[in-house]
């Protein structure tokens, strides 16, 4: 099949998207597919006018893949915008929609805003372009931590108590501080990779954290702090996979610890008894189904000292390098990385009516 692996874009997870998508593209080529890596934002502008005139030619002359490893630093998005030659307000770079239209399916390897939030999926739906993963509505809801919590708690999914604020400004900070006991967790509700997340242990740190959080947007989520062990649990084709226990070697599971090699110990299956593991898997399935997600997702949890399981958030397009969490969980049930990538493609075709 002719497959576009769509990556990059304009989010704080741009670099991580390249790392995942390069591996996905290589895996699909190893399975015999004509897979092409395409940056959503930069497009094909550096490939020459002949390619821009006929993007489909890339499927017959596959560009070489370069190994991309995460360097531990968040991208400078202003520099990315400035470097694009195509001066347009569109998130789609030159030739992106044309080559996606020429493909049999698009493997969405994007993370964060402008990819994981459903907007690209909605555009593809309108254009009749098949793609992998969840549809626009489930992706959009899953990206919003506030809306996700409001939908899943009534379905029996335990989640930390919270206050949510919409259209907040710095003038609201004193009221927000008064309404939220410390310790707590201050979050931007549409962030990813723990960007815009602040764990507050002392009252003096709450106001500065809220002010910092407002730099990402006017919506703020402040959650009850739950101390415990961190786990994640994937769903694949409406089946809960074995959970992963995440043990940072130093500090918390922050942006660098998530993606820096050797910064965390990831134990799969996680060190938890069978009954708790089953309950966690059932919670992950409930989240997946309530939000109407498709093919795969990954939910994050905390288990406290009393074995209470708390759902934190869901990832509708989780990381997909061979050592990422979902591939580790799939490997635990005998699914190789290459087979996992191909299964996601085949389910995407089925979901899009092909």
All structural domains of the chain with their residue ranges: 2-133+341-351, 143-158+227-316, 162-224
CA distance 147 to 165: 12
CA distance 294 to 309: 24
Distances (CA, A) of 64 to 12, 84, 320: 26, 21, 20
pLDDT tier for residue 250 given thresholds of 50, 70 and 90? low
Q: What is the per-residue pLDDT for 70?
A: 65
pLDDT tier for residue 284 given thresholds of 50, 70 and 90? very high
CA distance 295 to 139: 12
Which range is least confidently modeled, 217-231, 253-267, 325-339? 253-267
Which range is least confidently modeled, 85-94, 186-195, 297-306? 186-195
Q: Which residue has the higher pLDDT, 44 or 197?
A: 44
**Among candidate residues 304, 292, 13, 255, the one with its CA nearest the CA of residue 141:** 292
Q: What is the per-residue pLDDT for 248?
A: 80
pLDDT at 324 over 60: yes
Q: What is the per-residue pLDDT for 262?
A: 54
pLDDT tier for residue 256 given thresholds of 50, 70 and 90? very low
Tell me if 143-158+227-316 shares its fold with 162-224: no
Q: What is the per-residue pLDDT for 257?
A: 40
Mean pLDDT of the chain: 91
pLDDT at 254 over 50: no
The architecture of the domain spanning 162-224 is 2-Layer Sandwich (3.30)
pLDDT tier for residue 195 given thresholds of 50, 70 and 90? low
Structural Rg of the chain based on CA atoms: 20
* Domain 143-158+227-316 class in CATH: alpha beta
What is the mean predicted confidence (pLDDT) over 329-346? Answer: 97
CB 241 within 8 A of CB 334: no
Q: pLDDT for 159-178, tens place per residue? A: 999 999 999 999 999 999 99
SS3 annotation, 110-164: CCCCCCCCCHHHHHHHHHCCCECCCCHHHHHHHHCHHHHHHHHHHHCCCCCCEEE
What is the mean predicted confidence (pLDDT) over 1-16? Answer: 92
For the domain 2-133+341-351, what is the CATH code? 3.40.50.20
CA distance 107 to 159: 31
- CA 237, chain centre distance (Å): 17
What is the mean predicted confidence (pLDDT) over 71-97? Answer: 91
pLDDT tier for residue 253 given thresholds of 50, 70 and 90? very low
């Amino acid at each position: 099949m002719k497959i576009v692996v769509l990556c990059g874009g304009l989010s704080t997870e741009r670099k991580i998207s390249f790392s995942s998508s390069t591996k996905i593209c290589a895996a699909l080529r190893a399975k015999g597919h004509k897979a092409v890596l395409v940056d959503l934002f930069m497009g094909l502008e550096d490939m020459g006018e002949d390619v821009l005139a006929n993007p489909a030619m890339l499927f017959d002359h596959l560009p070489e893949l370069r190994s991309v490893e995460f360097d531990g630093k968040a991208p400078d998005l202003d520099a990315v915008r400035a470097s694009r030659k195509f001066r347009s307000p569109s998130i789609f770079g030159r030739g992106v929609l044309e080559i996606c239209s020429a493909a049999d399916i698009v493997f969405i390897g994007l993370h964060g805003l402008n990819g994981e939030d459903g907007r690209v999926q909605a555009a593809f739906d309108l254009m009749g372009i098949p793609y992998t993963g969840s549809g626009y509505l489930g992706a959009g809801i899953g990206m919003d931590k506030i809306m996700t919590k409001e939908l899943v708690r009534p379905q029996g999914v335990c989640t930390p108590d919270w206050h949510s604020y919409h259209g907040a400004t710095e003038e609201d900070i004193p009221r927000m501080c008064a309404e939220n006991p410390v310790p707590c967790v201050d979050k931007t509700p549409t962030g990813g990779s723990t960007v815009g997340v602040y764990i507050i242990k002392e009252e003096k740190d709450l106001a500065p954290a809220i002010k910092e959080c407002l730099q990402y947007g006017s919506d703020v989520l402040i959650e009850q702090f739950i101390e415990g062990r961190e786990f994640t649990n994937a769903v694949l084709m409406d089946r809960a996979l074995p959970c992963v226990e995440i043990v940072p070697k130093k500090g918390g599971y922050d942006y660098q610890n998530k993606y820096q090699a050797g910064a965390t110990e990831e134990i799969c299956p996680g060190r938890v008894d069978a009954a708790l593991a089953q309950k966690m898997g059932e919670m992950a399935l409930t989240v997946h189904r309530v939000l109407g997600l498709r093919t795969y997702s990954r939910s994050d949890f905390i288990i406290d000292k009393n074995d209470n399981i708390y759902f934190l958030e869901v990832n509708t397009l989780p990381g997909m390098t061979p050592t990422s969490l979902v591939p580790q969980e799939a490997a635990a049930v005998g699914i190789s990385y290459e087979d996992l990538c191909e299964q996601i493609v085949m389910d995407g075709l089925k979901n899009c009516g092909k």
